[in-house]
Structure 1
Amino acid sequence: MFLKPVLAAVLMVWGGTPPAAADTAYPLTLSNCGVELSFDRAPESAVTVGQAATEILYSLGLGDSIKGTSVWFSEVLPQFKDVNDGIERLADNDPSFESVVAKRPDLVTAQYEWHVGPQGIVATRQQFADLGIASYILPSDCVGKDNASGSDGTRTAMYTMDSIYRGVNELARIFDVPHQGETLVADLRQREAGAIAKARGLDLRDASAVFWFSSAEIRTDPFVAGRKGPPGYMMQALGLKNVVDSDEEWPVVSWETIARANPSVIVIAKMDRRRFAADDYRTKLEFLQSDPVTRQMDAVKNNRIVILDAHAMDPSIRNVAALETLAEALPEFGLE
């Protein structure tokens, strides 16, 4: 999204940093994914269930408050390696309810409702509330999204970075660091607008793309990005057509269907997770180049393949870096 004129003017006057926000006034009450939350003071400790939530708190300078992390797709952002090394990783994937509670956090922050929500596989929000533990779900997983439909939820409206910016600012207010939140959001907005402007300068008219996250088995139908999630937003913002027309977050679509659509660009996820063989991007590349169906696609024949951080394909502050990566790659492909 482009900077609004008023915000752009503020940034110029203040040298790229918004005016200092007032300290949080407690009690703080806010609505979060259908649950009313109230805080009498800033939480002193937190456990994160989801890399996106972890990296937001790190970005706000709140590493000292985090007592445990979980659900990792990629290595932590380099600037947070030192702080992350000193914090216990409760699980690479899904933590147990007991391991979270054992850290005695004031707050549990989660990336996905399917971890902490009505049918949460870690716990429901009420289970935490019964123990006096507040829970916060990133708005990016519930704003404009129905998590009761589809395996990873279904988008009812196009994802935008606004839901991430909302999460940043709300967490900053909860922890009484509102100025850090506004500064982070201002920086991300500038970078987002710059990447979009660069790609839009190419004036793409007929270019298309597909985002491949992973596959349960390498030769089975892949999990690809639906049209309204973060990759759908990226494609729309950069002038690319998504060849997948499902509103599910990560629908399963056959390679035959994708090959018939013949996307101009294929974006594949690179991750450290190894839940499936196809989590390895090198396995993805080998498959694309050897399978009799996929190797006939123009994107494969012409090596128009972008390797993208997997976590940047999910709702997170890394979406901005993904936009920048794609904006850098597209001019090299000679698309129209």
Structure 2
Amino acid sequence: MGNLALEGGLCGPEVLRTNPGQTLCGTDVKSHQHGGEKLMRRDWGKALMKNCTVHALEKAFKCQEARKDFPGTSDHVQHQVKPQMMEFVAEFHNGEKRFKCNECGKLFYRKSRLAQHHRVHTGEKPYECSECGKVFRCSSSLAIHRRIHTGERPYECRECGKFFRQHSQLVVHQRIHTGARPYECSECGKTFSTKTKLDQHRRVHTGERPYECGECGRTYTCKRMLIQHQLVHTGEWPHECSECGKAFRYMASLVMHRRIHSGERPYECNECGKSFRQRAHLQVHNRIHTGAKTFECSECGKCFSQNSILTTHQRVHTGERPYKCCDCGKCFSQKSTLIKHLNLHWRKVT
């Protein structure tokens, strides 16, 4: 197999090592950035695969028999790729997956990938974290895990400056800015920013709820919801506010609470400029402008702009009065009515 040279603005590990000033798709490689991605050398293989979707692999690599020089320095130095990468690129370009798993029949471009895959069947996890003892099937997974201990976040979003431990996390995050939702449900056409969210959504159609609570038997469509639910049984409130000491079951609740102290109101109404701490509050507010009343009473057909108002209304039909006065025992359907009633007791005392 002939040596491969790079064409079309891509450069491999050898180029980065020998010519640190070389550009990658027109971007300064000194910071190892490409399209908003901050690249680590050990992640170059993954970055190359991501690049294939942008540049197309057949345009990125050219057989060196053509002797094309890479115009990165004044003397037009010839750049080469490692033999392992040469083999991988050629096989990927030719569509060859020569290495087959005897257990499940899955095919791979490289023998090393097959060896890693075999560990799925054997359960072997030879790479251990020296900090916490957690074990992994491949060295790349261990390298990513170590960033939890080191605090390293090498991937930076060029839109907002947020950093991430993994390239895949950055890719998903960037969809917030681009609005991209590439995963579509074949049942209803709803789109999602990640495959995980699509898989979870599909369970709405299939009725599958694979995550069951061992305490009460309640089932959930995703593991995250089960983990959150289990805090009800353990009584844990693990997320504490450093300002006031208030504790929360969920990190998302703490994040929203912190905005009380910081005064941050990141969700602004495009119609009137009013801002809110939570997206849900903005969505409710927007109905004032649109006039939308999406919550309908199944008993009488009356519609409401908020689910909470519908819940209160339904007590007219059910007769439920969940708010009880501790002084006289009188019950009310709304909390606000109870508060007014309590004021009557307070006035009598004073």
Q: Which has the higher helix share?
A: 2
Q: Which has the higher contact order (CA 8 A, sep 6+)?
A: 1
User: Same fold, TM exceeding 0.5?
Assistant: no
Larger of the two Rg values belongs to structure? 2
Q: TM-score range by the shorter chain?
A: under 0.3
TM-score w.r.t. length of structure 1: 0.24
